[in-house]
Structure formats: C-alpha cells, structure tokens
Amino acid sequence: MNNQSYIRRKTAKQTRYDAADTAFIRSHEQHPNNGEERPFKNIDGKFTFIANFSKGLRHNKRGEVEFDSYKSLLKAIGSTNPDDFENIVLGGERKLVNPQAGIAYDLEGPDSGSLRIRPAPKMDSAETAGEMVEDYWMALARDVSFSEYQGNPIIDDAIAELSGLSDFRGPKIGGNVTADTIFRGNTKGDLRGPILSQFLLLGSNQPQYNINQNEGLLKYGTLLIDHKQTTVKPNIDYMTNEDDWLNIQNGLKVDDLQNADPTRRFIRNLRDLATYVHFDALYQAYLNAALYLLASQSPKDIGNPYNDSKTQEGFGAFGGPHILSLVTEVATRALKAVWFQKWFVHRRLRPEEFGGRVHFHKTSDAKYPIHSDILDSEALIQTEAKFSSYFLPQAFPEGGPTHPAYGAGHATVAGACVTILKAWFDESAIIENPVEPNNDGTQLVSHSGCDTLTVGDELDKLAANISLGRNAGGVHYRTDYTESIGLGESIAIGILEEQKLTFNENHSFSLIKFDGTGITI
C-alpha cells in the first residue's frame, strides 16, 4: 500500500471516530413518563390499564385491556428479548407495529435513546381534554372546505368552544381561536396565507415541457407528479358503534381504503388531508418540496460553498443529488427515535381508545378520570346527535395503527425532513402568487389574502399540515405534533453536525428552528 492510500485510510478511520465522538458528547436524556401506567380496578373488580395504548391486545366488552395481555407487552418491553416480543398475547389478526425498532442503534445522528420529549399530558388533565375536543371538532368538520371556514356553522361552533376551554394550546389571535387559526400549526408561518402549504399544491413552472405551476404538476425526471390525489367520498366515518369499535381494538383486520372518490382532487378539506397522510410514503411531501425548490431554482442557504464558485457546481456534494437523498435519509433515523418514545417510554393511548373511555363513561357505570372540558363539551353533544354514540369518529376504516400515539411518526419525520430543507435552502426566499384549492378541489385559484409567502414559513406549514392531518383522521393529539417535530429537528441537526466532518468544502448550514430561534452548523 502506498503512502497516500495509507494516509487516506487513516483519515477515513479518524473521521468515523470524530463523528462518534461528536455523538458521544451529546447528553443522554432521562425519559420520564406521566406516571399513569398503573393498574386500574374496573367495575368488574378486575385490574386493567386505562390510560395506555393497548390496541391489538385482548380487551373486555368495554375495551379495557385484559391484565395478562398487557403484562405480556410490558414483559417484552422490559426484557427486550426478541422471544418475549413473539409471546405478546394479541386479541386478533393485526400485529403490533415494530416495537423493536425503538431500540435499534444507528451509525449516524443522535442515538434513538438519547433524546426526549416531555411526558404526555395526563388522561384527566385539561390539556388532554382540549386536545380531544379539537379532535372531535376536526372529525365533525372533515367535509368543510378550507375556503368556506369563514362563517361556517360547524367551524363557528368549534371556534367558540376551543376559545373557551381551560387549556387549549392551539394558535390564537388576541387570546381566541379564529377561522384563520383553527386546525393550524403553532409556528408563525402557519398563520400566514392559506391553511395548506404551497408545497402540497404548486408544481414545476417549465414552459418548455408545457408545465404550468398552477396545474400542480411536479417534474420528476421525465415523469410528472400530480398534486391531485385519490381521496374518499364525504360523510363516511368509522368506528362509531360499540361492536365496530371493540372489534378494531381487538385487532380485527379491515380494508384500509373504502369508498374512493372517482374524481381526483387537490386537498380541499380535512378528509382529503387525512387521506393523504393515510397512504403517503412518509417522506414524499418533503421530497416533492425539494423537487419544487430545485426546479424553481430557489436560492440555496448562504453557507452553500458553490453559491459563488467561479469554476465548480455542486452535485454529489451540495448539489441536487445530495439534497434529494439527504431529505429522505433522515426519515428512518427519525422513526427509530420516536419508536423508542412510543414503546419504551410513554405508551400513550390513541384518541380512538380515549373516545371509547368517554363513550362508556357517558353510557355505562364505568367511571374514568376524564376532565369535564371534554365530558360536557358541545363537540361531544354534536357527535352523539350525529352518530348516536360518543366514540371519536375515525376517517380510516381500521382506525389508528397498532403502535402508541406519542410521539407521532409522521410528525417526527416531518420535523427531520423539513429541518433538512430549511438548512439547505434560503428560508427568506419568496414564493409569489400563492394558490389554494377551489371549494371542490378540482382547480387551484389565487389566494387573495396575501401576495407573498416565504420558503421557511411554508416548510413549517408543511410539517404542520402532514402532522395535523393525522389528527384530522382521528389518530393523534396536538401534542403528538408539537413535541415530535422538535424531536425530528434534533435528529436532523445531529446528522448535519456529523456529516459536516466528511466534506472538503468550506460550508455551513443555517436555519430557523420551530421555536423561532436561529442556529448555524
């Protein structure tokens, strides 16, 4: 081996050591949960667990998990022995989704067990009640077009109730929820322009290919990706009676797409958004955003080394192929981190499970620790009037997936992927002439509320749309979004810190975090 090859070999090894040291010096957080995972004596005199995720396990007639079934899950979680996971006592055909992913190690970025999110709000808290009231209103408002929120009776009722709750933490103006803040994310960008991010609507603008960006077509090589989607018919909701709800809790398998709408549409309401996040490849919205930003030649971050080069352009490093792979590379690492939180820390019950607690609390002798803000809510009154039950109506036939609610996979991936895009592109760059879907989602029309939006704001909004779209389906809470995007952000920043060691170019990445603070890597 010649001297040059040996030096390269040693340097490559040292770079790996340096990246490992960068990861090692990060703090390894403690992981407190909310303390609610304890046996609860039900009205039959038997012990169960009522505040924790148990979908897919065995349940009694009120959907309370059988003690031995839940203990078999805890045994596997405690031992991490693969054989114990194979011996979890299930209630039906549906399998639990990949709990062991939460204890996988990774060779890049923060370790999945090193980061934390705050303990989930307790079952009897006003914050949880506020989140559930919002979920019920989202279910009731699924078929209201975004363009018709102003003055719509359902939206007006939701605004009035959410504004008056003890502890609702969605965005407000002057202390009140409004038609311009309802069901939106918590960053400043979420409150500018249409409720839907431009990255879920706009296409490439390339006349040579007869592509107009208002047609919503993205150029993907020689293919075109259409932002119009296959959605579902209106006014069809699931798991609103005791038999259907209980069968799903016990793991009944059902088709995950029913009642498809024959007309493809732009996302125009919460049902369409929920359908998008029901079937998306987890990173597809962010890959599409990257394709749009590249095709529109959106300015890159000031730290890109090839912005002002006279002799070079980026490609495998700091060019198109780099960002297109990097924006997807963070997804599985984000999933490992949030799967650790889901299975090995919090095990928070899904909103559909909470809705079962509400229903049986209201209709039987079962009494659970539930805050009056949800039990006495107008949202619950209107739900019962429409469905003759108090279950949280689900947009998906199978309800939520068979893994715990907190944190959220979609939201953590959103936080990671959007952070990469904000680090790569100039967040202050302007997206002119914003659009929104018309009432039936068949066309894009100009948005008259503002003339310009920024890349950074619309990326933050994209993360919120995808995350809260899952809430619109009935499968997540607002804190699943607010806490998880920060978790994903930390994963992405850690990966950028470690990758920085591998490049020859003088470079940096700068971005505005979800909490509004700026950083440079």
Catalytic center residues: 403, 410
Q: Which of 52, 49, 29 is nearest to 40 (CA)?
A: 49
Burial of residue 78 (number of CB atoms within 10 Å: 0-12, 13-18, 19+): exposed
Return the percent helix, strand and coil in the chain, to nearest 5. Answer: 45, 10, 45
| Helix 242-249, helix 351-363: angle, nearest 10 | 140
CA dihedral (29, 32, 33, 37) in degrees, to 10, reads 130
**Quick one: tokens of 105?**
């190690």
> Which residues are paired to 431 by β-bridges?
453
**Quick one: tokens of 514?**
């979800």
Number of Cβ within 10 Å of residue 457's Cβ equals 22
340 phi and psi angles, rounded to 5 deg: -60, -45
C-alpha 409, offset from chain centre: 6
Q: CA-based diameter of the chain, in Å?
A: 81
Q: Which of 132, 63, 91 is nearest to 478 (CA)?
A: 132
Please report, for residues 284, 303, 321, 426, 505, the alpha-carbon distance to residue 308 in angstroms, rounded to integers and kept in the order given: 31, 10, 19, 15, 13
Inter-residue contact 521 to 509 (CB < 8 Å): yes
Burial of residue 150 (number of CB atoms within 10 Å: 0-12, 13-18, 19+): exposed
**Amino acid found at 177:** V
The terminus-to-terminus CA distance of the chain in angstroms comes to 36
Number of Cβ within 10 Å of residue 476's Cβ equals 29
Euclidean distance between CA atoms 448 and 455, whole angstroms: 18
Which is it for strands 444-446 and 435-437: parallel, antiparallel or unpaired? antiparallel
